[in-house]
Amino acid sequence: MKRLTQSACCLLVCGLAGSVSALTAQNRADVDAVNKVIDQYGQTEDAGDMVAQAKLMAPDRVWVGTAPAGRQTDQAMNMRAQQAQYDVQKKLVPGLQWFTQARDRLVKFYGNGAVAVASFYWYREPVIPAGTSREIAQGIEAAATPVAITLVLEKQGGEWKMVHTHVSYLIPPINRKPIPPNRRRTPHRSACSASPRVPSGAMRARDTSGRPRTAHPRSRAGFAHSPDGELSPKWQADGRQSEAPAGAR
């Protein structure tokens, strides 16, 4: 009887070990598959191939990020707009190359392994061709602002697809241009104010004596934040740089 009990315990332990081993192997395969999607995400971004990138996403993917893009739910239009921007950029800055790294990846699974949440830091490094104007080069460099990205992926037909993307800045961007000193409004002071009114000339001198506030190179060179964690150029169809918010979502 004792030997029978020991044999049963051994079989139970071996069975549990086999189940854990199979589960670990399955989880490892899913982690590798999700990491492969993230790799392809960066590769298609570097290539400016939004058609290929769209294949990594569900047709109803939602993107949430910083202004002015905000929240985008029209996935098809989102990708068309980004592709149009990349096409113009390639014509305006031929030879420009991007190298993207998704660092410190963290992948977790939910819903019995059918849903994955991946988060990582997104760093992009441009290689700017010789002869590029200083203004455009500054805009390209500003477009390399690092961000944190969180992806929600769902296993659909045996393949992992992005269904939700969230982007957050790691470095607060400077989006607003400075107000010229002669257009700044001085605070209203009532006649009974305890402090004396500062003459307008002194106020202007004080405003302009400190460190000047300059516009971010991105706004000068025509680059704007795109929905996938990067800063994409906002070029017009004729090659001119537009000061309006980029159409990429």
Indicate the domain borders of the chain. 28-173+217-244
Instruction: Give 67-96 pLDDT, tens digit per residue.
Output: 677 899 999 999 999 999 899 989 989 999
3-class secondary structure, 189 = coil
Q: In whole angstroms, give the CA distance from residue 148 to residue 166.
A: 8
Number of C-beta neighbours around residue 38 at 10 A: 21
Report CA dihedral (85, 149, 119, 113) to the nearest 10 degrees: -60
What pairs with residue 169 in β-bridges? 147
Amino acid at 115: V
- pLDDT (average), residues 167-179: 66
pLDDT bin (cut points 50, 70, 90) of residue 233 is very low
Q: How many residues does the chain have?
A: 249
Whole-model pTM? Answer: 0.65
Query: What are 16's two structure tokens?
Result: 């549990």
Percent of the chain with pLDDT over 70: 58
Mean of per-residue pLDDT scores for the chain? 74
Query: What are 32's two structure tokens?
Result: 């590798």
- Best-predicted range by mean pLDDT (80-94, 192-206, 213-227): 80-94
Q: Where are the alpha helices (DSSP H) in 108-199?
A: 134-142
Q: Provide φ and ψ at 60, rounded to 5°.
A: -110, 30
- pLDDT (average), residues 161-174: 86
* CB contact at 8 A, 216 and 240: no
Tokens 């699974």 correspond to what residue? 109
Q: In whole angstroms, give the CA distance from residue 149 to residue 165.
A: 7
Judged on CB neighbours under 10 Å (0-12, 13-18, 19+), 29 is exposed
- pLDDT (average), residues 175-194: 47
In this structure, CATH architecture of domain 28-173+217-244: Roll (3.10)
Query: CA geometry: angle at 226 spanning 224 and 227, to 5°?
Result: 150
Per-residue pLDDT, 111: 93
Residue of higher predicted confidence among 140 and 80: 80
pLDDT bin (cut points 50, 70, 90) of residue 23 is low
- pLDDT (average), residues 148-157: 97
What pairs with residue 123 in β-bridges? 101
Distances (CA, A) of 15 to 10, 29, 49: 8, 21, 48
Q: In whole angstroms, give the CA distance from residue 233 to residue 217.
A: 12
Q: In whole angstroms, give the CA distance from residue 197 to residue 81.
A: 52
Q: In whole angstroms, give the CA distance from residue 98 to residue 147.
A: 15
